[in-house]
């Protein structure tokens, strides 16, 4: 059984549990992060932990660990599970308290983390994935990486029911983001993605890809784009920590461009992997 981390100690996952009075369970009152592990080393964990701090500040919850303690814990979890390639998930909730919507006067944040293997460098999804278009039903603060994600659960389930890999969420025909990814299109060689706001999550991978595009001489435009633009784009891409960069080759069954991974998607995925290997070099 894998080892996880819960409130300060490592334990067997099968025994890791929280009270039914945990506010994460009663209210979705918590935030989380998912960081990548390549060659047994954490990738961009500092960026994920900086975003964790921003999410916690936004919901006015204390961070139970320092950045250094989180880094140490996450790496120990990687080692304990002999994880070579995969993900580390971590979550902080406002803790256990008598049920009441407003913040408890004294509660210790619950925090836990677990590790999972996943093929990242040789991800079969790199051959191209499908998306299914759904209305974005989320709340007004999608910049907070909260666990109150029933809207995303339903969007991703709609995608799966439609045989698609990911959801393409939109508001009145304007794309917001994927169910758990940022979305991009390519028009005439220019890479386009929605600017940051309360409407989308500030993806760590999104930030890195913006840098990599600049480095590769790919022009970038941060602006909103429509579902129609995505359908008629030369390329469509999705990015996330757990999938790096993936070409989106069909939208609701119709091919994007010629229906094969495009040059920009391939270039950025290769650049992302090259950077990942460089940063995790022994």
- Between 148 and 220, whose beta carbon lies closer to its own copies? 148
Q: Which residues are catalytic?
A: 145
3-class DSSP string for 84-136: CCEEEEEEEECCECCCCCCCCCCCCCEEEEEEEECCCCCCHHHHCEEEEEEEC
- Between 90 and 210, whose beta carbon lies closer to its own copies? 90
Q: How far is the CB of 194 from its own copies (least distance, A)?
A: 19
Say if CB 43 and CB 72 are below 8 A apart.
no
Q: How far is the CB of 178 from its own copies (least distance, A)?
A: 11
Q: How far is the CB of 53 from its own copies (least distance, A)?
A: 17
Say if CB 91 and CB 31 are below 8 A apart.
yes
Distance of alpha carbon 237 from alpha carbon 261, whole angstroms: 9
Residue numbers at the binding site for its own copies (CB under 8 A): 4, 6, 13, 16-30, 32, 59-60, 89, 91, 93, 99, 101-103, 112, 114, 116, 135, 137-141, 144, 146-157, 159-160, 179-180
Burial of 10 (0-12, 13-18, 19+ CB in 10 A): middle
Say if CB 155 and CB 179 are below 8 A apart.
yes
3-class DSSP string for 194-220: CCCCCCCCCCHHHHHHHHHHHHCCCCE
Distance of alpha carbon 206 from alpha carbon 241, whole angstroms: 9
Say if CB 77 and CB 113 are below 8 A apart.
yes
Q: How far is the CB of 154 from its own copies (least distance, A)?
A: 7
Q: How far is the CB of 240 from its own copies (least distance, A)?
A: 12
- Between 154 and 196, whose beta carbon lies closer to its own copies? 154
- Between 175 and 273, whose beta carbon lies closer to its own copies? 175
- Between 89 and 210, whose beta carbon lies closer to its own copies? 89
Tokens of 91: 């979550």
């Amino acid at each position: 059984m894998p080892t996880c981390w819960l409130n300060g100690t490592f334990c067997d996952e099968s025994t890791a549990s929280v009270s039914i009075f945990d506010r994460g369970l009663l209210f979705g009152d918590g935030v989380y992060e998912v960081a990548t592990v390549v060659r047994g080393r954490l990738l961009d964990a500092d960026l994920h932990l900086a975003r964790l701090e921003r999410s916690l500040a936004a919901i006015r919850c204390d961070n139970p660990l320092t950045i250094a303690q989180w880094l140490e814990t996450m790496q120990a979890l990687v080692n304990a599970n002999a994880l070579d390639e995969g993900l580390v998930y971590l979550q902080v909730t406002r803790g256990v308290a008598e049920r009441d919507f407003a913040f408890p006067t004294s509660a210790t944040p619950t925090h836990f983390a677990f590790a999972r293997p996943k093929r990242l460098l040789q991800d079969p999804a790199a051959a191209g994935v499908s998306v299914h278009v759904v209305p974005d039903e989320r709340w007004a603060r999608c910049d907070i990486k909260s666990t109150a994600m029933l809207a995303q659960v339903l969007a991703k389930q709609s995608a799966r029911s439609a045989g698609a890999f990911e959801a393409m969420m939109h508001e009145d025909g304007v794309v917001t983001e994927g169910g758990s990814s940022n979305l991009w299109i390519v028009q005439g060689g220019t890479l386009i993605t929605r600017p940051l706001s309360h409407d989308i999550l500030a993806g760590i991978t999104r930030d890195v890809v913006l840098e990599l595009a600049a480095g590769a001489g790919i022009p970038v435009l941060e602006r909103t784009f429509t579902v129609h633009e995505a359908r008629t784009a030369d390329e469509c891409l999705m990015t996330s920590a757990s999938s790096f960069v993936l070409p989106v080759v069909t939208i609701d069954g119709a091919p994007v461009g010629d229906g094969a991974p495009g040059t920009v998607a391939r270039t950025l995925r290769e650049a992302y992997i090259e950077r990942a290997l460089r940063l995790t070099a022994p």
